[in-house]
A and B are shown apart, each in its own frame.
Chain A
Amino acid sequence: MAADKMKRVPIKEQDPKVRATNFDEVCLGYTKEEAIKEASRCLNCKKPMCVTKCPVSINIPGFISKIKEEKFDEAAKIIAQSSALPAVCGRVCPQESQCEGKCVLGIKGEAISIGKLERFVADWSRENNVDLSERKPANGIKVAVIGSGPSGLTCAGDLAKLGYDVTIFEALHKAGGVLVYGIPEFRLPKDTVVQHEVDNVKKLGVKIETDVIIGRTITIDDLFEEEGFKAVFIGSGAGLPRFMGIPGENLNGVFSANEFLTRNNLMKAFKDDYDTPIKVGAKVAVVGGGNVAMDAARTALRLGAEVHIVYRRSESELPARAEEVHHAKEEGIQFNLLTNPIEVLGNEKGWVKGIRCIRMELGEPDASGRRRPIEIKGSEFDLDVDTVIMSLGTSPNPLISSTTKGLDINKKRCIIAEDETGKTSRDGVYAGGDAVTGAATVILAMEAGKKAAKAIDEYLKK
């Protein structure tokens, strides 16, 4: 029994061979019985280390003990005090380096599956219509939130709970940011999970105006001067894709991961009855090693292609979550490590026919602490592919900063904001998430949204 306590209750997943042909969720989640069993492993530490590593400080032992007692609605309410998006975070947070990384059980055995338990509670409360919309009386003060991704939704939800009149402005036709256009259906179901969490934020009284591009449709100055907003939170993310700048990058068949994933996730190109087309060849190379690269690769695979990851460092430097790399391998994605493209090759009609790569070796650690990849002279070789997806990271879109007076940005075009408050150089304007940090994680964006909501409340009370 004691040995058993050190091991996790295993989680059910779709068979790799089957799931490689569909867009249904890979991880099937815990049943009630499994969740209770897993929860009963928690030692309920007096000084819970897990909480210290959760960016939004969820009372983890608190909600887990409610699962033990089978009071799932109370567990949901404990989580709701800290997080507006538990069904999302339970699925996409890198728990191994956050809450679960600090779990005491992890020293000698396996850490509690905190993420999977959070997900269980969130899914249960969705299926059982638990009302989490408790809020203070309305105070009539208008706050604008720009962007409906994780940071914006969190900031808006927290402000609405405090009684503010919040409007979110979203540039795309659907709210959710990277949760709807970036992360694929098989990791994060859109119609059930994401839509429900967005609806929960709406139930708190938050209005969402889609199709509004701040900096084009209306400016931040107009929001203050003409529409009566008293504070603004910018959570516009980092959506501008990077390309390599190598020859052949504009050939037909070369896409940014953002375009490829947007067509598939937001526009649902993989479904026959949607109008947006997607072009995936027979053999696809995805350049990069982050979570977005894994998402693009696994999407291409599901559209019927043979898929190669091309990454310039080695396996241990892959920035993607271990779980995603593991899933990708199980599904049959091939990894070309220590390999870097130097040219995209085209046929006479201007379509991709391959990529010329060079082998790399690892040198001394660079500023980021990772060993720097160095080209091995004379090791060039061609990889025959007909589609190339560039997944090299993204940076913030300069549209807002360039159209807002007095809003300072750094040389990476990120908005400069204080860590603890999100306060920018412009009075009454706060910012957080990827717009400030550059591309990072969902939960860090939520943390920034949370801190900014608190700071905005203090600013408006002055």
Chain B
Amino acid sequence: MYKIVDKKTLAPNIFSMDIEAPRVAKSCLPGQFVIVRIDEKGERIPLTICDYDAQKGTVKIVFQTLGKSTKEMAEFEVGEYFSDFVGPLGQPSDLTKESEEELKKKNIIFVAGGVGTAPVYPQVKWLNAHGVKADVIVGCKSKDYLLFEDELKKVSGNLYITTDDGSYGYKGFVTDKLKELIDKEGKKYNHAVVIGPMIMMKFLSKLTKEYGIETVVSLNPIMVDGTGMCGACRVTVGGEVKFACVDGPEFDGHLVNFDESMRRQTMYKTEEGREILKKEEGDTFHRKGCTCGGDK
């Protein structure tokens, strides 16, 4: 059992929690993720690691309530326990494998979308601790949804905020902001890390390809075990099949087949929808016998 030692509401439907998991906290590196199972009947949910403290033995996760499981997760309070908290999983970010000398040769731009800001933060923080200041663009719906602004300010070079509705910072998409930085402000980047919704990573990778900037994306496919034993999370990268949970989650954004990944993400859409309905409206249907095939 894994104790929840801190909980905060960061934005509407977005929460952070510090979980006591000493073994995980000791081994974490930026870019990795964990799998949480809230109780005996729960499913295994992959979540990116947002921060960790080996001394205290805690790991910070950030999540947005999307389906039944994350909604239930948000109902847990400080002092309560999750059944399972497994990790760290996946490969650490390639940046953590490079020497400080090599890192200093790079001009790095991070682009975060929505909750994707959470996994960007530990990477920028890690770089700062190793003497490298990276620029960061954070994109969100509106000012209310902005995460980690103060924290990021402390560890990044320049921090650019964009909001869809213009309620804070630059009004528009992260792609527009990046274009502006390069075209109008003469910024030169040779390495980009992009984490956010699949569609954002797709379009940003397209853009950085035009500019010839090497680009890393962090994929978030459906997962079950997270240890490489099932292939639910398989993605096509450069024509090869990879398991995101062991080979990734970070891949070369210019080689990822985003359309396939987006399609695979929707595989259980109807089941998730039905679970929510069931919770909110009671058991008005039964899984067996339904052969409608969902949203095929």
Give me the 6 closest cross-chain CB pairs, A-B, nearest first.
Answer: A277-B271, A259-B230, A239-B229, A275-B43, A276-B43, A350-B263
Contact of B263 among A252, A258, A273, A386 (CB under 8 A): A252
Please give, as numbers and ranges, the residues of chain B lying within 8 Å of A259 by CB-CB distance.
224, 230-232
Q: Is A71 an interface residue (CB 8 A)?
A: no
Q: 1/0 per position for A267-290, CB-CB distance to B under 8 A?
A: 110001111110101100000000
Asked whether, in the complex, the Cβ of B241 is within 8 Å of the Cβ of A216, the reply is no
Q: Smallest distance from the beta carbon of B55 to chain A beta carbons, Å?
A: 16
Give 18 pairs: A residue, B residue, CB < 8 Å, sorted on A.
A171-B225, A211-B85, A239-B227, A240-B228, A241-B231, A249-B241, A250-B260, A252-B296, A256-B232, A258-B230, A267-B43, A274-B41, A275-B43, A275-B68, A281-B293, A282-B293, A394-B229, A399-B246
Q: In the complex, A272→B271 CA distance in Å? A: 12
Count of chain A residues near B, Cβ 8 A: 46
Is B23 in contact with A171, judged by CB distance below 8 angstroms? no
Once the chains are docked, how many angstroms separate the CA of A263 from the CA of B231?
Answer: 12
> Which chain A residue shows the least CB distance to B24?
A217
Stretch of B6-14, B86-94, B157-165 on the interface side: B86-94
What distance in Å separates the Cβ of B296 from its nearest Cβ neighbour in chain A? Answer: 5
Q: Is residue B267 contacting chain A, with contact meaning CB distance below 8 A?
A: yes
Alpha-carbon distance A275/B38, docked complex (angstroms): 10
Q: How far is the CA of A274 from the CA of B68 in the complex (A)?
A: 11
- Residue from A210, A275, A276, A399 within 8 A of B228 (CB atoms): A399
Task: Please encode chain A, from 79 to 92, with 1 for each CB lying within 8 Å of some chain B CB and 0 for all others.
Answer: 00000000000000
Q: Are A173 and B227 in contact (CB under 8 A)?
A: no
Tell whether, in the assembled complex, residue A272 and residue B286 are in contact, meaning their CB atoms are under 8 Å apart: yes
The SS class assigned to the A binding surface is loop
Known: A281-B291, A282-B293. A216 touches B87 (CB 8 A): yes
Known: A217-B24, A275-B68. A211 touches B84 (CB 8 A): yes
B87 touches A250 (CB 8 A): no
Whole-angstrom CA separation of A172 from B86 in the bound complex: 8
Please give the residue numbers on chain A whose beta carbons come within 8 Å of chain B beta carbons, in ascending order. Answer: 171-173, 210-213, 216-218, 239-241, 243, 245, 249-250, 252-253, 255-256, 258-259, 262-263, 267-268, 272-277, 279, 281-282, 303-304, 347, 349-351, 386, 394, 397, 399
Least CB distance, A342 to chain B, in whole angstroms:
17
Interface presence of B169 (CB below 8 A): no
Distance in Å: Cβ of B256 to nearest Cβ of chain A: 12
Q: Is the CB of A218 within 8 A of B230?
A: no
Question: A245-B241, A276-B44 provided; 19 other pairs, C-beta below 8 A?
Answer: A172-B227, A173-B84, A213-B227, A216-B87, A241-B229, A241-B230, A250-B234, A252-B266, A256-B230, A256-B231, A259-B232, A279-B268, A304-B288, A304-B289, A349-B295, A386-B293, A386-B296, A397-B228, A399-B246
Distance between Cα atoms of A113 and B293 in the complex (Å): 44
